[in-house]
């Protein structure tokens, strides 16, 4: 029984853009529930509390780790990010598949915990130069250099995923991810 679809890939590659399109797609939106993570990162101007993330203090996050509230968590670019266990419980109760946007470590943890009940998609940039352009274009990202360094390491792990999509042309990448998600759901 498929419980989770994970979308992973370097920061700035277009995961949020693709996920937002998936969540407003007429064929898919009712089948999926987006997994809102907790983070200690600062909120960006366009982000909404409880929709993009739950923005919490380091102290609150550490307490949640102590209380074993996370399905998985990771330290990414100096900030904590984590998926609460309650998200997967809620999705299962509502008969929905949880759609997660997590880093490569998070994706691996989900695979270890859920095995065949999870499907992992990696989004790759057409090139590092284009990734740099997208990160810089999103002016609210202060730590572009840190994100680029990490991207190179993450891209080397793409082979561990069930499916890899290159996000060059956004519409094409969206059609591809839509097809792959529909296939994963229909095999369920
Ligand atoms: P992520 O969630 O992976 O960090 P975002 O979805 O925030 O990435 O995208 C980073 C930037 O790249 C945004 O400004 C977005 O509009 C842009 N972007 C996304 N996909 C494409 C694409 N295929 N071509 C050009 N720009 C893109
Ligand atoms: P951003 O700061 O750009 O929103 O996210 C930075 C990175 O953290 C991205 O790779 C994103 O996928 C990842 N991320 C977001 N939420 C989680 C989470 O709950 N767990 C893990 N492991 N990574 C996450």
List, as one string, the DSSP characters of 38-93: EE-SPPPTT--BTTTEEE--HHHHHHHHHTT-EEEEEEETTEEEEEEHHHHHHHHH
Q: What backbone torsions phi and psi does residue 137 show, to the nearest 5 degrees?
A: -60, -35
Three-state DSSP state, 96 = coil
The strand pairing partners of 68, in sequence order, are none
| Mean local confidence (pLDDT), 176-180 | 98
In the structure, what pLDDT confidence band is assigned to residue 74 with cuts at 50, 70 and 90? very high
Predicted confidence (pLDDT) at residue 181 exceeds the cutoff of 80:
yes
CATH code linked to domain 4-186: 3.40.50.300
Query: DSSP label at 159?
Result: G
Mean pLDDT, rounded, of the chain:
95
| pLDDT value of residue 146 | 84
- Distance between Cα 69 and ligand 1 center (Å): 31
Which is nearest to 6 in space by CA: 148, 166, 117, 153? 117
Cβ–Cβ < 8 Å for 124, 164: yes
Residues 9-68 pLDDT 10s: 998 999 999 999 999 999 999 999 999 999 999 998 889 999 999 999 999 999 999 999
pLDDT at 45: 87
Query: CA 69, 8, 29, 115: dihedral to nearest 10 degrees?
Result: -60
Q: For ligand 2, which residues put their CB under 6 angstroms from it? A: 11, 37, 41, 72, 74, 76, 81-83, 101-103, 105-106
Average pLDDT over residues 75-98: 96
Residue 144: the pLDDT is 83
- Inform me whether the pLDDT recorded for 141 exceeds 90: no
Which of 17, 41, 45 for mutating ligand 1's site (highest number of atoms within 8 Å of CB)?
A: 17
Q: Up-side HSE of residue 66: CA atoms within 13 Å toward CB?
A: 6
Q: Is residue 139 scored above 70 in pLDDT?
A: no
Among 31-45, 104-118, 129-143, 151-165, whose mean pLDDT is lowest? 129-143
105 — pLDDT class (breaks 50, 70, 90): very high
pLDDT score recorded for residue 187 = 87
């Amino acid at each position: 029984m498929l419980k989770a679809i994970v979308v992973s890939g370097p920061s700035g590659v277009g995961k949020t853009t693709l996920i937002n399109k998936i969540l407003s797609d007429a064929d898919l939106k009712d089948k999926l529930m987006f997994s809102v993570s907790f983070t200690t990162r600062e909120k960006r101007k366009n982000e909404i509390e409880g929709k993009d993330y739950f923005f919490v203090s380091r102290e609150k996050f550490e307490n949640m780790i102590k209380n074993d509230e996370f399905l998985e968590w990771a330290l990414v670019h100096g900030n904590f990010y984590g998926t609460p266990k309650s998200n997967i419980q809620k999705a299962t109760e509502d008969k929905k598949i949880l759609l997660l946007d997590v880093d490569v470590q998070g994706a691996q943890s989900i695979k270890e915990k859920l095995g065949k009940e999870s499907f992992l998609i990696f989004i790759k940039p057409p090139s590092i130069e284009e990734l740099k352009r997208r990160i810089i274009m999103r002016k609210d990202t202060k730590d572009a250099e840190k994100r680029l360094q990490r991207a190179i390491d993450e891209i080397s792990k793409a082979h561990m995923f069930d499916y890899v999509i290159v996000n060059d042309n956004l519409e094409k990448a969206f059609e591809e991810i839509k097809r792959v998600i529909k296939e994963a759901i229909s095999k369920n």
